[in-house]
Structure 1
């Protein structure tokens, strides 16, 4: 745990008492603060009270006397579509509102650091797609190279549940727009922007607000180095705003699919090859095509971002390349589950929207595609340019028949369930083909979340691999 600093003898309120709220409360208490807590759920309040936490009804004005700060869980709206009533009350009273990310950045550095040979660093990753894989890949590269490292934030461990840094350690954080939007302190050493596609627009008051939330990590964070994906105009804009000259190597531009020119520092992929350029000269080149844990152009973009971040803190190209080959990928994100009889089975259950499914389809050829679930507005019409890669679609869930109407000449069947889809795809697949779960839909019609959907697919495939009947 990272104890909060500069909070001794203060009364600090914590709104939302799930995993993040509990970790925040523990960090504040360890720092000497009096913690009062509130959660909208009666069961959560009762459990917290049983654990010894002081529950105070923050919906009542009389209970705000003496409170110096409100720390809110990132999932609770603070501005759009409208602020939570407790947060609005704090705003009206002039009480600072923060979240655990801001508290982390204020508390991470300690007096012990003056005895370290190498000051710890923080790499923070944000963006719409690929940030989890990029974060995990950076963490993997650091671990494989022998650097002490921890990973947390929006992936894995909550930031305040991390351990205090040791000599030379690098903490890698995935940060969502919910986290960057409100944090009052954002001071990573290296900040990474992967890309931007529409998401969470109601929470941010539109696309501009969503972009502004991501941009805060760079505009207000002031990282020593910024790694910026420039395949969208928003990334180009951030890179331009940060660079003081074309050759300013504090900004590392990354791209998947286009060569980046100019005298600055860039990392890009073309036709499966990663290239690093600095001051107009090539500094390194890596063939990504045979790396099983990084399939497809979208993962090549993640590889570029991770490469750039690790180079920014001094890792050598050979260290990074070696670690690429041992990266297994994240569950449910283009995860190679097994190869049976020359047929690959890939779990991309995280592809819950058309944009993510598009990237998955472009990563493979000769696809037996398992898709469907609770479809989103707009259907799957935007996937038509990639359907030539699909040998046959196996449609499941609530939107199976709606999806079927948009497949054109692509062969399909209504399989209804995952069990039937996997069984039918496996029985028809030929060596060299890929059975790909990339639903292009939410999971909530049949599963509680995309993880459970992906786990079901994985269990079915591994049962086949062991020669067992499907469960």
Structure 2
């Protein structure tokens, strides 16, 4: 655990008592602060009460008397679409509002680091798509190379729940826009921006607010190195803002699909090959085509980001390439779960929006596509150009009929449930086909989260294959 510093002897309020909120309460207690806790849900309050934390309704008058700060869990809106009442009350009382990410960066360094030969480093990864795989891949490469490393944030453990880092250790953080938006301290050594596509727009008041939340990881902390995907205008803008000139190698530009030139440092993937260029010279090349844990152009972008981040730490191209080959991928993200009778079964339940589904649809050949759930604005209309590999679609959930209307001439049927969709797709699949779950929708109509949806797909496939 990382003890929170700077609040010893003070009361600190915690709003939201899920994983990050309870971890913050524990870390504050270890740092000799007095946490007072609140959650709008009875279940969260019960968890805190079971651990002996004091409960205080933060919306009541006088709740912030003597309180030094309010720490907010990432799922709670603090501005759009409207502020939570407890947060608005903190503003009115003049109480500083922060989150666990801010506490982490403000508390990580200690005097013990003076005795280290190599101080610990922090790599923070954000972006719309691919940040979980990129974070996990960076962590995997480091462990493969024998470097001590921990994975935390939006993946793995809560940031305050990790072990105090040892000599030379690297902490890899996946950070969502919800986490970067509110943190008062953001000081990673290396920041990574994968890409930007519309998501969480209601939470950030539009695409500009969403990008601004991501940009804070770079603008607020001034990292030593910035790895930035430049396949969208926002990434090119960010890379330009972070750079002092064409040859400034503190910025490493990455791309999937386009060759990057110039005198600076760049890493890009084209036609299945990753290339590193520096000062207009090619430094390394890796064939990504046969790496099973990184299929498709979207995963090649993830590979470029992870490669750039670990190269910035001094790892060799050969070491990184060897780690790529034994990376198994993450559950629910283009995860190959079975192969039988010439048919591959891939679980990409994490494809909860149209853009991420498009990446999966372009990664495989003849696809029998299971899609649907609780559709987002626009449904799958934007996928028209990505349907070329779809042999047939099997639609499930709340938005099945809406999706059907948007599929045009693409063969499809409404299967309603996962059980029926898997049964239908398997019955019709032929050797060379891929049965792909890439829902392009949220899961909340039928499942508590995308993980449960992916687990159900996997169980149905395995049950029918007898494995």
Please tell me the root mean square deviation across aligned C-alpha atoms, in Å. 1.3
Cα distance change, pair 408–205 in 1 and its aligned pair in 2 (3 A): closer
Q: Which moved more, 1:405-414 or 1:101-110?
A: 405-414
User: What's the counterpart of residue 176 of structure 2?
Assistant: 176
User: What's the counterpart of residue 112 of structure 2?
Assistant: 112
Give the match's secondary structure for 1:63. coil
Cα distance change, pair 58–414 in 1 and its aligned pair in 2 (3 A): closer
Structure 1 segments, 4+ long, off by >3 Å, are none
User: What's the counterpart of residue 248 of structure 2?
Assistant: 248
Give the match's secondary structure for 2:361. helix
Q: Whole-Å Cα distance in 1 between the matches of residues 6 and 386 of structure 2?
A: 54
User: What's the counterpart of residue 192 of structure 1?
Assistant: 192
Q: Whole-Å Cα distance in 2 between the matches of residues 135 and 13 of structure 1?
A: 30
User: What's the counterpart of residue 435 of structure 1?
Assistant: 435
Q: Whole-Å Cα distance in 1 between the matches of residues 44 and 271 of structure 2?
A: 52
User: What's the counterpart of residue 32 of structure 1?
Assistant: 32
Q: How does 1:398-413 map to 2 (within 5 A)?
A: 398-413=398-413
Q: Deviations over 1:40-90 (max 9, x none)?
A: 223432442342111222222323221111111121122222221221222
User: What's the counterpart of residue 372 of structure 2?
Assistant: 372
Give the match's secondary structure for 2:298. helix
User: What's the counterpart of residue 348 of structure 1?
Assistant: 348
**Does residue 142 of structure 2 align to residue 142 of structure 1?**
yes
User: What's the counterpart of residue 65 of structure 1?
Assistant: 65
Cα distance change, pair 45–428 in 1 and its aligned pair in 2 (3 A): closer
Q: Any unmatched runs of 5+ in structure 1?
A: none
Cα distance change, pair 40–405 in 1 and its aligned pair in 2 (3 A): closer
Q: Any unmatched runs of 5+ in structure 2?
A: none
User: What's the counterpart of residue 235 of structure 1?
Assistant: 235
Q: Whole-Å Cα distance in 1 between the matches of residues 316 and 52 of structure 2?
A: 49
Q: How does 1:250-265 map to 2 (within 5 A)?
A: 250-265=250-265
Aligned length: 467
Q: Contact 2:370/2:396 (CA < 8 Å) preserved in 1?
A: yes
Q: How does 1:194-343 map to 2 (within 5 A)?
A: 194-343=194-343
Q: Whole-Å Cα distance in 2 between the matches of residues 152 and 53 of structure 1?
A: 24
Q: How does 1:17-56 map to 2 (within 5 A)?
A: 17-56=17-56
Q: By how many angstroms is 1:421 displaced?
A: 1.8
Q: Whole-Å Cα distance in 2 between the matches of residues 359 and 443 of structure 1?
A: 19
Q: Contact 2:9/2:32 (CA < 8 Å) preserved in 1?
A: yes
Q: Deviations over 1:396-448 (max 9, x none)?
A: 22322332222222222222222222222222222221111111122222222
Q: TM-score, normalised by structure 2?
A: 0.97
Q: By how many angstroms is 1:105 displaced?
A: 0.4
Q: Whole-Å Cα distance in 1 between the matches of residues 261 and 43 of structure 2?
A: 57
Cα distance change, pair 306–129 in 1 and its aligned pair in 2 (3 A): same
User: What's the counterpart of residue 160 of structure 1?
Assistant: 160
User: What's the counterpart of residue 461 of structure 2?
Assistant: 461
Q: Which moved more, 1:87-96 or 1:429-438?
A: 87-96
